[in-house]
Structure 1
Amino acid sequence: MTTLVDKVRDDIVERLQADQLTLPTLPEIAVRVRAVAEDPESTIVRLTTVISQDTAVAARILKVANSPLFRATQEIRDLHHAISRLGMDYTSNLAIGLAMEQMFQATSDIIDERMRRNWHITTQVALYAAKLSERCEVSEDEATLAALLHRIGVLPILTYAEESEHLQLDGIHLDKLIGHLHARLGQVILERWGFPLELITVPETYRDLTKDLGTVTHADLVTVANMLLFADKQNYFGRTDWRTTPAVARLDLPTDRRDHVVQSIHQAVADNQGLF
């Protein structure tokens, strides 16, 4: 098993270095939303026009605007009012992040299941990161986007596996490859997509539980969000000692996982299940 994992890992790295690895391209809706967001002359009307052309993203934006997250007193039924409530920055980052979902699909049932599972984990981390952003100066929309992008490096690995059916990579092999490579690939993808440095570094650093940069970073939020999501699991993040993790201290979180503050975060996430 290890020999196969090493062989595939080396092949992926060689293809990456030779610029021969199939990397995902940023979805068209995300490209267009980003263009609007970066234009200082943009208006809510223009952003509404762009997002309305993707019915799936538009529906999600409406769902978020009407969610408990924003405590809506009256139901919002049109996209323009939803964007007005959320704000252009929040809407833009959310739309870019949500556009990623359309990339997590495959023709093979086995790979498609892995992609859907990966997207589910990603969205759960996003809910926790958004809630944790209340404890620092990183905005909620940036925390959400960082979380929705942090596992983007899984995509080329699963695409490679789908294109190499003869290798018969099972779930254990895939998990090992993802553990070895998704951080590096994620950084390369975000660099090519032109995201800012604070997002580019997230895939490479969110698994570093010892990092201590003084202030709360986007990666810190994703790190602790994963710790909360997997708090009762016997995996990398589930086995983490909260008492020795600097990100927990920087967010001023109790180290007792049963503390009422921690439980209130779990409850807030539970209240917004299915949001993404």
Structure 2
Amino acid sequence: MGTENALYTILVEKIKQKSLVLPTLPEVALKVREAADDPQINLGQMSDIISHDPALSMGMLKVANSAILGRGVKVETVNQAVTRIGLRQIKSIATAMALEQVFVSENEIVSLYLKKSWAKTIDVASVAITLMTFYQKEHKHSPLTLDTLTLAALIHSIGVLPILTEAECHPDVFANPTFLQQAIIKLSSKVGAEVTRAWDLSEEFTEIVQNWSDLTVLPAEVSYLDFIRAGAIYNGIFKNEATQEVLIKSYVNKGVLPDIDFMNSDEFKDLLHDVKSMFN
């Protein structure tokens, strides 16, 4: 227990001192974000940047051909994909698609935890994206955007990474996954907020990462938090049944869900399958 308490104390102190080692965005994501902020950038130049990264290129093609963009005529080149997605959305989508590169470690045990964390992140994000897609069909003038939700959902648990990196220095902690999970639950949102600031994301993302698991924060209007939390409910992250019931009812009242049983419907599950395939 001494090692576990020591890790917790170290994490808290490093957070206070802002000395915790934070993950960095993949270089290609940084280049895309910088280019997207350039008012002179055009679709061809953006396509060239993305084409230099095979994994990101493939991700863009999957997004462009996905059900959430209406499928239509299949696109086969990065230039066509960027044209379909659009420069306004490309910044968030490219960052989201590059994130898997962050969830890696040369340590075998840490790598296993990171893979599990990424898989859970994909599960939650896929539900959130699916629900947002249905929501937008009925609320065409909503200020919420799919590209912002996609990135928000894929970084909602980004705080896990620095915690696991720090825990790597304390091998005994991995022998007690219960403690490690408790450390993640207590600290990951706060750490995640620091990551969003280090990545120079907008304050909107910081607030989402910081608050998604804090159920005392309940926005009156429909928000990105609602979709991410619905994903957490669907994947058993919020385990209290009374809490699940209250949240689901509120999402029906707000229009996030058409009805209480919507996430059990074939319509929902079919689109969810298509959305998840973007990340495989």
Between the aligned partners of 1:51 and 1:237, the Cα distance in structure 2 is 40
Compare 241-250 and 94-103 and name the one that shifted more. 241-250
Indicate how the Cα distance of structure 1 residues 164 and 12 shifts in structure 2: closer, same or farther if over 3 A, else same.
Answer: same
Structure 1 or 2: larger helix share? 2
> Are 1:267 and 2:276 matched, yes or no?
no
Between the aligned partners of 2:174 and 2:126, the Cα distance in structure 1 is 34
Between the aligned partners of 1:210 and 1:262, the Cα distance in structure 2 is 29
Indicate how the Cα distance of structure 1 residues 168 and 70 shifts in structure 2: closer, same or farther if over 3 A, else same.
Answer: closer
Which residue of 1 is the match for residue 15 of structure 2?
16
Deviation at residue 116 of structure 1 after TM alignment: 0.8
Indicate how the Cα distance of structure 1 residues 31 and 15 shifts in structure 2: closer, same or farther if over 3 A, else same.
Answer: same
Deviation at residue 22 of structure 1 after TM alignment: 1.1
Indicate how the Cα distance of structure 1 residues 14 and 264 shifts in structure 2: closer, same or farther if over 3 A, else same.
Answer: same
Which residue of 1 is the match for residue 243 of structure 2?
241
Which residue of 1 is the match for residue 206 of structure 2?
200
Q: Of the two structures, which has the highest relative contact order with CA contacts closer than 8 Å and spacing of 6 or more?
A: 2
Deviation at residue 12 of structure 1 after TM alignment: 0.7
Between the aligned partners of 2:79 and 2:85, the Cα distance in structure 1 is 10
Q: Percent identity?
A: 27
> Are 1:164 and 2:166 matched, yes or no?
no
Unmatched runs of 5 consecutive residues or more in structure 1: none
Between the aligned partners of 1:223 and 1:260, the Cα distance in structure 2 is 13
Which residue of 2 is the match for residue 149 of structure 1?
155
Between the aligned partners of 1:140 and 1:162, the Cα distance in structure 2 is 35
Question: Normalized against structure 2, the TM-score is what?
Answer: 0.87
Deviation at residue 171 of structure 1 after TM alignment: 2.4
AA aligned to 1:164 is H
Question: Normalized against structure 1, the TM-score is what?
Answer: 0.88
Unmatched runs of 5 consecutive residues or more in structure 2: none
Indicate how the Cα distance of structure 1 residues 143 and 238 shifts in structure 2: closer, same or farther if over 3 A, else same.
Answer: farther
Between the aligned partners of 1:162 and 1:260, the Cα distance in structure 2 is 38
Alignment of 1:1-276 (within 5 A): 1=1, 4-134=3-133, 135=135, 137=142, 138-165=144-171, 167-230=173-236, 235-237=237-239, 239=241, 241-245=243-247, 246-247=250-251, 249-253=253-257, 256=260, 258-259=261-262, 263-276=266-279
